[in-house]
Amino acid sequence: MAIGLKKAQEIEKLSISNNMVAKTLNYLKKEVKAGITLKQINALGEEFIYAQGGRPAFKGLYGFPAGVCTSLNQVIIHGIPTDYALQEGDILGLDIGVEKDGWYGDSAITVGVGKISEADQKLIDCSYNTLMHAIESIRDGMRFKELSYILQESIISSGYIPLRSYCGHGIGRKPHEEPEIPNYLDGNNPKQGPKIKNGMVFCLEPMVCQKDGTAKVLEDKWSVVSADGLNGSHYEHTVAIINNKAVILSQD
């Protein structure tokens, strides 16, 4: 496994594309209201990215048809925008990638539409709190498997289960680079495998299920749900390891 190290000026370029992602997510979060369709949200997101001088990185990536992943209720990741109009009480995951001058940014949030149930709010809080806890725990020299274990334990301690078969990832001149970073410990020993080093840039993205972490892809060949059929949540940040700790690039 070859995990690249970025120079300071390369991290600065990654910061630009990630800042565009953050601005777009903040903009779309304000537009998420009952009555707006998923296709309208996607159109607004793509237009906003272009207006900043970026390119929607997900559009056409591996054949994905849109610039914004709109993951509704039971869909945890990779939701395709449709003509569905949001309703009060829905929860919606928004996952966005931006390419600028050959460098990629990536981040995701899950938001409620109007007043949502207490159960759904706790579900959203789990993915957000897990992400922030993991970022704060990162230190130069710890192993990626230790980070996966931290993500896993945070999700489980909140009463939920991590989605299997999907993971965080490195990022740079490609939207997905080494390493893969599962939200669960693969194997029994977290004290093995590659170490986190200064100059690494990667995405952490806890994907949270309620009762069953088994992933199921729907008939559209993109939308990923849990085998339990219940609502899920997803948060993501791109971080760079600078001076022995993680710095969030995907924030405004």
Percent of the chain with pLDDT over 70: 100
Q: Look at the block and give the residue holding tokens 């192993």.
A: 143
CA separation for the pair 248, 228 (Å, rounded): 32
Domain count for the chain, please give it.
1
* pLDDT for residue 37: 98
* pLDDT for residue 2: 84
Using the predicted structure, report yes or no on whether residue 9 has a pLDDT greater than 80.
yes
Average pLDDT value over all residues in the chain: 97
Measured distance CA(181)–CA(194) in Å, rounded? 11
Residue 51 is part of a domain; what is its CATH number? 3.90.230.10
Q: Has residue 1 been placed in a domain?
A: no
| Beta carbons within 8 Å of 163's beta carbon, 6+ residues apart | 76, 77, 183, 207, 208, 209, 213, 215, 224, 226, 232
- Has residue 32 been placed in a domain? yes
Q: Is residue 44 part of a domain?
A: yes
H or E segment to which residue 242 belongs = strand 237-242
Q: Determine, yes or no, domain membership for 3.
A: no
The answer as to whether 43 is a domain residue is: yes
Could you report the per-residue pLDDT of 203-250, keeping only the tens digit for each?
999 999 999 999 999 999 999 999 999 999 999 999 999 999 999 999
pLDDT at 22: 98
Confidence of residue 1 (pLDDT cuts 50, 70, 90): low
pLDDT of 67-96, one tens digit each? 999 999 999 999 999 999 999 999 999 999
Query: Percent of the chain beyond pLDDT 90?
Result: 97
Q: Which residues contact 93 (CB under 8 A, 6 or more apart)?
A: 69, 70, 71, 72, 75, 76, 77, 79, 108, 109, 110, 232, 233, 234
* pLDDT tier at 188, thresholds 50, 70, 90: confident
Domain that holds residue 14: 8-248
